[in-house]
Amino acid sequence: MTPLVDIGANLTHAAFADDLEAVLARARGAGVGAIVVTGTSVAESLAAAHLADAHNLYATAGVHPHHARDCDDATIPALREIAAHPRVVAIGECGLDYNRNYSPHPDQERWFTAQLELGIELGKPLFLHSRDAHPRFAEIIRSHKPEKAVAHCFTGERDELHAYLKLGLYIGITGWICDERRGRHLLSLVREIPADRLLLETDSPYLTPRDMRPQPKARRNEPAFLPHVLRTLARALGRPAEEVAAQTVRNARALFGLPQPA
C-alpha cells in the first residue's frame, strides 16, 4: 500500500518520552511513510522542529488556542524564526476552542488572527483547530483568505463541513470516525468531502480508535494506528483502502509541499 502521511501527531508529548524510537519504528512497519509533528506553543514548536530534524519527519509551528493567553509581543517573531526551519511545513496548530475555554475568547481571536497573517506572509499553509467555535472560526478565515489550510481533526456537523469546504479548506479525519458514541455521523458525512480535500491523521497520543482490539496500553494513540483509521474511512466511502491511501497522500503532499518519496 502507498506509504501513508500522518498530518498531525503530537510526538513531543510526554507520553512518547520513553519510547519514541520504538513508536517511529512501529509507524514505519505499519506503512506510515511521513509524519507531521504538531507544534502547540513556541517551546513545543521548537521541540517539534528539532524532533523532525533528528528523525526525518516534518513539523508545524504555532500556538494552540488553549495557550493564547500566554502569547505576547515575542510570540510571532519566535514562530517566524522557527518557521524558517526547512522541516517546518505549516503554521499552527492555531484556531479557536470555545469548548474548554482555557484562554479568553478575545485572546484566542487575536492570536489566531496573528498566526493567520504570519502564514500568509510566509506563504505557508495553516494547520487549524476549531472546537465549538463555528461560525466565528469560519468568519475569521473568510476575512483573511489563506491560500492553503486544513481543518485539523474535523468532528463537526454538515453545515460546518460545507462552510469549511466553501473556504477551500482541506479536512483532516482522525480516529474520531471510529467512535460509535461521538463519531457515527462522520461515517456518512465524509462522503460529502471532495476526494482532493481529504487528509488522514492520528492526533497522537489522543483519539485512539475506540473500536481497535485490543486497546493499546493506557489507550495511547500513535502513528502506527493510522491504517486503522484509513480502513474505517475507506469503508465509509465505499472505496478501496489503497485508493483512499493514495489520494490522501497526494493531498498531503499538495498541501504541505512534501517531496516525493525516493
- The string of pLDDT tens digits covering residues 73-99 is 999 999 999 999 999 999 999 999 999
Reported confidence tier of residue 228, pLDDT bands at 50, 70, 90: very high
Q: How far, CA to CA in Å, does 221 sit from each of 21, 64, 256?
A: 15, 20, 23
What integer is the mean pLDDT of 122-148?
Answer: 97
Taking all residues of the chain, what is their mean pLDDT, rounded to a whole number? 97
Does residue 262 belong to any structural domain of this protein?
A: no
Point out which residues pair with 151 in neighbouring strands.
128, 171
- The string of pLDDT tens digits covering residues 18-71 is 999 999 999 999 999 999 999 999 999 999 999 999 999 999 999 999 999 999
For residue 112, the enclosing domain spans 4-256
Query: Is residue 61 classed as helix, strand or coil in its secondary structure?
Result: strand
Q: With a threshold of 0.85, does the pTM exceed it?
A: yes
**Portion of the chain with pLDDT greater than 70, in percent:** 99
Count: domains in the chain: 1
At 252, which helix (H) or strand (E)? helix 241-256
| Kind of pairing between the strands at 88-97 and 126-131 | parallel
Does residue 90 belong to any structural domain of this protein?
A: yes
Reported confidence tier of residue 217, pLDDT bands at 50, 70, 90: confident
3-state secondary structure 64-115: CHHHHHHCCCCHHHHHHHHHCCCCEEEEEEEEEECCCCCCCHHHHHHHHHHH
Does residue 26 belong to any structural domain of this protein?
A: yes
pLDDT of residue 261: 65
Reported confidence tier of residue 1, pLDDT bands at 50, 70, 90: confident
Return the ∠ at Cα 40 (arms to 22 and 222), rounded to 5°.
25
Does residue 64 belong to any structural domain of this protein?
A: yes
CATH assignment of the domain containing 189: 3.20.20.140
**Portion of the chain with pLDDT greater than 90, in percent:** 97
pLDDT of residue 259: 86
Does residue 212 belong to any structural domain of this protein?
A: yes
- The string of pLDDT tens digits covering residues 141-155 is 999 999 999 999 999
pLDDT of residue 195: 98
Does residue 11 belong to any structural domain of this protein?
A: yes
Cα distance between residue 12 and residue 120, in whole Å = 26
pLDDT of residue 151: 98
Does residue 261 belong to any structural domain of this protein?
A: no
